[in-house]
Structure 1
Amino acid sequence: MRLPRVGEKAGFQISKKLKPCGDQPKAIEELTAGLDDGLRSQTLLGATGTGKTFTIAHVIQNAQRPTLVIAHNKTLVAQLANELRELFPENAVHYFVSYYDYYQPEAYIPQTDTYIEKDSSINDEIDRLRHAATSALFERRDVIIVASVSCIYGLGSPASYHDMSITLRKGEEWDRDEVMRSMVALQYARNEIGFERGTFRARGDTLEIIPAYEERVVRIEFFDDEIDRITIADPITGHPIHQEDEITIYPASHFITPAEQRKRAIEAIEEELEERLEQLRRSGRLLEAQRLEQRTRYDIEMLQEMGYCTGIENYSRHLDGRKEGQPPSVLIDYFPSDFLLVVDESHQTIPQVRGMYHGDRSRKETLVEY
C-alpha cells in the first residue's frame, strides 16, 4: 500500500453540472489566494442560501488538500456531508460524529458523595462511519471529513492504528492461521454464526472478514500457504462483487496498542498508581486511595488479559507513550500536516468547542481529586 504524500495533489473534482455565479467567483478567488499566500485564517460571510457551501467546495477543489469541516450539531453535519457528496461524487466524503446513542460519563459529586458510573450505548453504524473516515485518510488524499465537535475528543494513536494494520496481496505467502492471529491482535472476534462488522470466520482454506469500516465481506482464499484470490462479496448473498489484488485491514478499535507497548504502559500505570496512592494515604484520604486502587487494579487486569478495558481512554497517555501534560491524539492528528480546516457557523461552533472542552476537563479534575 502506497501512503499518500503531503503536498501531493488530492484529485478533488466538483461535478461539472454546477457553475459559480453572482459574488461566488470573487469569493472563491480571494479565499484561494489567501491560502496560496499562507494566511492562517479567513472568514466567509454570507446570508442563508447564498451558496457558502458551494463556494467552499470550489476552494477545496482549488487547494487540493484533505479537508476537515466542523459543524456544531449532528443534523448540520449530516446536511453538509450530503451536500458535499453531491458536489464531489468521485471523492471520499465521510461523516464523523459521536457514536453514542446514550452517554452518561463517569462523574463524582463531592457535596453528596455520589459516584456516577459510566454508562453508554454505542451506535454500530456510526462507529463504522468513524472507522471509514479514519481509514480513508491513510489511503488517499481526496478526503473530506464532516465532523461535529466530538472530533476534539481522544481517539487513540494514529501511528499505532496505521502500524498495526495488515496488508494482504494476491500471490503472497501467508499462513491462514497467522492471518487469523493477526485479526485477533487487531481486536477482531472470530464468530462462525453471528457474522457481523468487526468479526471473521474460517471455512476450510477460505477466510472471511467484515472490516470495522465496511459493510461488505473481504473473502481471502488460500492455496496451501499462498493467497490465491481476494474477493469483495455481498454479506447477505455471499455473491462476489469484484476482485482485488491488494487489501489493507485496519484495526477494529481506534484504541489499539502493540503487545510490547501495552506491557510498558501497564508498568507505567502501576508506577503512577503507587505514587498517587502514597500521596492520598499521606494526606489521610484513605477512602479515595481505596477507590483508586480497586478501579485501577481491575483495569490493569483487563488490559493484561483482554488487551482493552472500559474507559481505556483514561490510560491513553501511557498507551501512547506520551509525556505528562501532552494532549491526546484526536481526529485532527489523523490528517496530514497540510490539511484544510473549515469551521461552519463559527459563531456557534467555536464557543461550543470551548464549552465542551472546559466542561469535560472540570468533570475529570473532580474525578482525579476524589
Structure 2
Amino acid sequence: MFEIHCEFKPNPEQVKVVKAISNGLKKGFKFQTLLGITGSGKTYTMALIIKEVKRPALVLSPNKILTAQLFHEFKSFFPKNSVNFFVSYYDYYQPEAYLPEQDIYIAKDARINEILDKLRHATVQSVLTRKDFIVVSSVSCLYGIGDPEEYQKIGLEIYKGQKIDKKFFDSLKLLQYKRQDNEFAAGTFSYDKKKVRIILPSGQEVVDVYLKDQIVEKIAVKRIIQKVERKIVIYIKEDEENLVERIKIFPAKFYVSSSEKLEIVLRNIKNELSWWYKELKKQGKIIEAERLKKRVMFDLNLLKTEGYCPGIENYSRHLSFREPGEPPYTLLDYLPKDTIIFIDESHLSIPQIKAMAEGDRKRKENLVSYGWRLPSAFDNRPLKFDEFFSKDFQFIFVSATPGEFERKNSSQIVELLVRPTGILDPEIIIKPAKNQINDLVKELKLQVEKGHRSLVLTLTKRSAEDLCEYLLLHGFKVFYIHSEIKTLKRPSIIRSLRSGDIDVLIGVNLLREGLDLPEVSLVAILDADKEGFLRNTTTLIQAIGRASRHIEGRVIIYADKITFSINEAIKETKRRRMYQMKYNKIYGIQPKPIIKPIEKTALELILEAISEHD
C-alpha cells in the first residue's frame, strides 16, 4: 500500500526501532515515544513505520516551517502515495478582539494564501477518497472545519445522462462555487452550451462535463499542474484525461449547509440573539445589545441570500447542530480510525496544544460580554488537550527530548541514538560567564578563519540585538533571529547563514528544534547558569543538538556555576556520544561530513514538492 522511494536502506538501529514501534501498534498501545537524536533520521524512520504497518498517518508539527520541511521529505519518500499539507491558510492573521479599557475594537484582519487554502481542500478530499494518505499538519488540524457527514452528504453527484438545468447550477452555488467564465480559480465554474468546467477547491483537478442538448455526454477529470519557474505557472493537462461515469463534487468551503437545514440554523441563531440581547440589556449594556443585534442580523441576511458570511466560523456550533461546550468538528473527524498520529517535536507541540483552547476563550470573553459576538462563538475553538488525546487514535511522540507527558503516558520509549553519518554528539566546553563576550569574539574569529558557521544563544531579544550590533562593529557578518522576526522571513535568514552571507546567527529561542544546519560547527550558550525555561535540560540538549550535524561540532557553555540542568544535559550528551562511538566501532563507520543543498522557503518547498511528483 505504501511504497518508499529512497537511495539508502535503513541501518540496524532504525530497523530495531521500526520493529519495536510497529509491534507496539499491533499490541494496541495508545501512546509510544520515539526518542531520536538530531540527525538520526527520525522522518525516514516514521516513513518506515508507515510502510511496515500499512496504515494512513497524520504527522503533526509545531509550526509551518517545520511542517513544510516534513511535507517535502514525505513527498519525496512516497511519490506514488497521497501526501498532503494542512496548515492555517493565513499568510497574516490578526484575530478579532476588543479592549474595553480603551474601548478599542480590533476587527479580524487576515491575508489568505490561496495555495495553502487549496492544499487544505486537497487534504480533506484525499482522506475521504483514499486509504494510502499521509497528512503533514501544523496544530491547525485541531481547529474546526465543519461537520464531515454534512460535508460529504451535501456533495453534488454528476453522472452521464443527467440533465443540466437551473437546479444544477443552484446546487453548485449552494456548495459555494462561483461562476467565473474568464478567470481560472479554485472553487469556480464556467459554462457554455457544450461544456461545464468545474475547478475543484483543491486546485489540483478540473472536471469537464461535456453536454449535448443539455444532457451530460462525457465526464473528464484532468490534472492541474503547478510549476515553480520565475513565477508560479499553472496549466491543465488537456492530453491526459480520466473518463468517469459519475463523480461527486465536494463543497468549495468547509462551512456549508443544505437549504432545508439552513432555515433551522438561521432560526437557532435568531433565538440565541434574542436571549443574549435581553441578557445584555439586563446588565445595562444597551449600546452593546443594539450593536450585537445589528451585526448578527447583517450576518443572517447574508447567510440567507448567499449561504455564507464573513466570520461564518463563529456560527459553526449552529451550522453543525452541536450543543454548547461540545467539541468542534476538526480534520481528525474526517480521518479513518486506523490513522496513526505522529506528534513531531512533541516537547514543543504538547505544551502548544495545552495552551490553545484556553488562549482562544480568553480572547473571546470581551467580544461576547461587550456585544461583538454571540456566546456560541466560544464553541468556534480548537480542541482542548483532553479532547484531543481522548480521540480513538494511536499516538507516537517523536522528540530528542520528550517531555513529562510523553514519558508518563507512553507504554514504551524507543531510542534512536545513532546517526547514519557516524557523526558524534558535539564536544562540550565549560567557560566562565564573567568575560563571556570577549572570549566569544576570539572563538568566533577562529570559526571565520576556518570558514565555519556559528550560533549564539542569548537570554533576551534585546541582548540578541545588542550583541549583534557589537559583533557588527567587530567586523563579523552577523544577524539575529527572534520572535519579532516574521515567520516567512526566518527561512531566508537561515539560508544566508548556510550560504555564508552570514557567519554568525544570534537567537533566543528559535535556534533549537528542527533546524538542519550542517555548516554550523559551534554553538555558544551565553549565561547558561541562569536556570529557567530557556536554560533547562530540554532546551540545553536541543541547543547542543544544533552542533551535531558537523564533524567538528563543539558547544561552549558559558557558566560560573554548574546547574542541575547543565549537569543533566552534559551527562545525556556524553551518553549519546559514547553510544555512537560504540556503534561506529561495531559497524566500522568513519564519521563523514554532511553535504546538503541549501533549502528554499516554506512556500517554495511546498510548491516544489507538489510539482516534482505530478
Report TM bin, short chain. over 0.9
Corresponding residue for 2:220? 231
Any conservation in 2 of the 1:92–1:136 contact (CA below 8 Å)? yes
Task: Return 34-43 or 216-225, whichever deviates more.
Answer: 216-225
SS of residue in 2 equivalent to 1:44? strand
Alignment of 1:69-88 (within 5 A): 69-88=59-78
- Residue 36 of structure 2: SS of its match in structure 1? coil
Q: Which moved more, 1:68-77 or 1:219-228?
A: 219-228
SS in 2 for 1:130: helix
CA contact (8 A) 1:176 1:222 kept: no
> Which residue in the other structure is 2:183 paired with?
194
Contact 1:231 1:241 in 2 (8 A): no
Deviation at 1:73, TM superposition (A): 1.1
TM-score (norm 1): 0.92
2:286 is matched with which residue? 286
Once residues 239 and 152 of structure 1 are traced to their aligned partners in structure 2, the CA distance between those partners, rounded to angstroms, is 38
Shift of 1:247: 3.1
* Cα shift readout 1:288-345 (whole Å, capped 9, x = no counterpart): 2122111111111111111111111111111111111111111111111222111000
Aligned position for 1:137: 127
Give 3-state SS (helix, strand or coil) of 1:138's partner: helix
For 1:8, the equivalent position in structure 2 comes to none
Deviation by residue 1:187-221 (Cα, 9 ceiling, x = unmatched): 10111122321111112121111111124432110
Q: 1:225 deviation in Å?
A: 4.8
Deviation sequence 1:67-92 (CA, Å, 0-9, x none)? 11110111110111111111111110
* Number of residue pairs the alignment of both structures matches: 359
AA paired with 2:65? T
1:36 maps to a residue whose letter is: K
2:89 is aligned, of 81, 99, 110, to 99
Contact kept in structure 2, 1:68 and 1:147, CA below 8 Å:
yes
SS at match of 1:280: helix
Q: 1:16 to 1:106 in 2, by over 3 A?
A: closer
Local SS of the residue matching 1:239: strand
1:220 aligns with 2:209: yes
Instruction: Report % sequence identity.
Output: 41
Counterpart of 2:583?
none
Structure-2 separation of matches of 1:236 and 1:344: 35
Alignment correspondent of 2:52: 62
Residues 367 and 201 of structure 1, relative CA distance in 2, 3 Å threshold: same
Query: Structure 2: which amino acid aligns with 1:330?
Result: T
- Paired residue type of 1:214: G
Is there any run of 5+ residues in structure 1 with no aligned partner, and where?
1-10
- In angstroms, what is the RMSD of aligned CA positions? 1.7
Q: Show the 5 A alignment for 1:157-176.
A: 157-169=147-159, 171-176=160-165
Maintained 8 Å contact 2:122/2:204 = no
CA distance in 2 between counterparts of 1:205 and 1:365 reads 54
8 Å CA contact 1:99, 1:122 repeated in 2: yes
Contact 2:185 2:203 in 1 (8 A): no
Letter in 2 for 1:367: L
Distance in 2 separating the partners of 1:30 and 1:130: 33
Alignment of 1:45-60 (within 5 A): 45-60=35-50
Deviations 1:233-279 (A, max 9, x none): 46747834213214332111011111111110110011111111111
Q: Give the 3 Å change call, closer, same or farther, for CA 31–226 of structure 1 in structure 2.
A: same
TM-score in terms of structure 2 length: 0.56
1:164 positional shift: 1.5
Could you tell which deviates more after superposition, 271-280 or 225-234? 225-234
Q: Does the residue aligned with 2:34 lie in a helix, a strand or coil?
A: coil
Query: Structure 1 pair 344/139, CA: closer, same or farther in 2 (3 Å)?
Result: same
Identify which range, 323-332 or 224-233, moves more after superposition.
224-233
Aligned to 1:4: none
CA contact (8 A) 1:108 1:116 kept: yes
Cα displacement (A) at 1:17 = 4.5
Which range moved further: 13-22 or 326-335? Answer: 13-22
Please identify the structure whose Cα radius of gyration is greater. Answer: 2
SS at match of 2:291: helix
Maintained 8 Å contact 2:84/2:123: yes
> Shift in Å at residue 19 of structure 1?
2.2
Contact 1:176 1:207 in 2 (8 A): no
